[in-house]
Structures are given as structure tokens and as C-alpha cells.
Amino acid sequence: MAKKKNVYNYFDGFVTMANYANEAAVYLNEVINNFDANPEVMLEKVNGIHEIEHNADAKRHEVINRLTTEFMTPIEREDIMEMIQQLDNVVDHIDDVMRTIYMYNIQQLSEATISFAALLVKITEALKGAMEEFEEFRKSKTIKSKIIAVSDIEDEGDILHLDTLHALYRSDASAVEIIRNNKLIDGMEDCLDACADVVDIVERVILKNS
């Protein structure tokens, strides 16, 4: 009896990447809520989140390598490639936030930073939910609401970003502090935007395959 060919599940790969994004967000949130500006402590935290980023990179390479050898794929190859890259971008952006805190030697975090970190955990949890439904997108009754949830949280982030930068530039903070905080807040907003970019791809795939 012939052996059944091992079929690679790209959707499982998407879920794994979303899990890494959420793991990185939770890690960052814990660091921000228990902030210690000691450079040695922060460098240890940078290395910790980089390990998550490294695992996400390995999964991305696995998916891409498999894609180069597969003749048939469940959705278009270009969509798989774009999806896995954009999911990896989410993790990369979270990694960049931690590196920004360390490289810019930020000594104190604002309430806005804490709020952004909480939104990042929330949006990556919503992203996980969307990825878990993605494989059954033709039959799923909840994927649209999960996509909307990601978009809604990203909208919250847009408002927080606007209000925070407005307040920052109206404050009497030094030029250095403004640069540091602007860079950090922009970086956290980039994380939320990257999650929204993922569900934009999902919506496009659903439309093409409906």
C-alpha cells in the first residue's frame, strides 16, 4: 500500500507565527509593567525577546522552503509568501520596540507606553484568533468578527498615538526626551499597524477565493 504523501499545513504555520507575535507582546508588556532601566537588565530583556524573534524567523524560513518544493498550495503562493512575511514583520516590530528602549537608554516609561503595551497584547490575541479561523475561512462564521476586532484595536492605537504625540510636543520635555519618546511611541504604533496589515491580507485572500 502506497504511503500517503505528507501534506504541509501552511495555515498551521500562520497560527504558529501569530503565537510568536503574542508571546513577544506578552514579554514586552511584562518588561514595560515591571520596568528596570538598568542597562544590564535591559540587555538581558533584549536578548530574551530576540530569541522569540529568532524562532519566528526559523518558522518563516521553514514555510518558504516548503513553498519552493510544493506544486499545489491551498491558496496562491504569493499570498502565502506575503502572509508569512507580514506575520514575521509583527514580531520584528515588537523586537524593535525593546531594542529602542535599550539603545535610546530610556530611563522612564510614560503611561501611554503602558497603554500601548496592553493594546499590543490585546491585538495579538485577536490576531491569533483570526489565524486559527483562517484555514476554514470558507465556512467560518467568526473570522470576519475576528478581523474586525484587530482593526478596531488598531484604530484605538491610532487615537492613542495622535493624543500622545500631541501631548509630548506640547510638554516642556527636552529635545532629547522628545526624540526618545517619539521614536518609542512610533515603534509601538508600527506594531499595531503590522497586525492590521496581516488581516488586510486575510480579507484579500477570502475575497479572491469566495
The CATH number of residue 172's host domain is 1.20.58.220
Question: Is the Cβ–Cβ distance between 152 and 184 less than 8 Å?
Answer: no
DSSP state at residue 76: -
Alpha helices in the chain (DSSP H): 10-33, 39-67, 77-103, 111-134, 143-170, 175-208
pLDDT score of 5: 57
For residue 3, is it within any domain?
Answer: no
For residue 68, is it within any domain?
Answer: yes
Task: Supply the pTM of this predicted model.
Answer: 0.94
pLDDT score of 11: 96
Per-residue pLDDT, averaged over 22-38, amounts to 97
Residue 2 has pLDDT above 50, yes or no: no
CA dist 131 to 18, 128, 141, 178, 195, Å?
Answer: 7, 5, 14, 37, 11
Q: Please state, as a whole number, how many other Cβ atoms lie within 10 Å of the Cβ of residue 40.
A: 8
For residue 129, is it within any domain?
Answer: yes
For residue 210, is it within any domain?
Answer: no
120: left (phi over 0), alpha (psi -120 to 50) or beta: alpha
CA torsion 133-134-138-139 (nearest 10°) is -10
For residue 5, is it within any domain?
Answer: no
For residue 2, is it within any domain?
Answer: no
Q: What is the pLDDT of residues 96-106, one digit of tens each?
A: 999 999 999 99
Domain that holds residue 96: 10-203
Counted domains in the chain: 1
Q: Which residue has the cell 504523501?
A: 5
Per-residue pLDDT, averaged over 26-38, amounts to 97
For residue 208, is it within any domain?
Answer: no
For residue 73, is it within any domain?
Answer: yes
DSSP one-letter string for 16-68: HHHHHHHHHHHHHHHHHHT----HHHHHHHHHHHHHHHHHHHHHHHHHHHHHT
Residue 1 has pLDDT above 70, yes or no: no
Question: Is the Cβ–Cβ distance between 84 and 123 less than 8 Å?
Answer: no
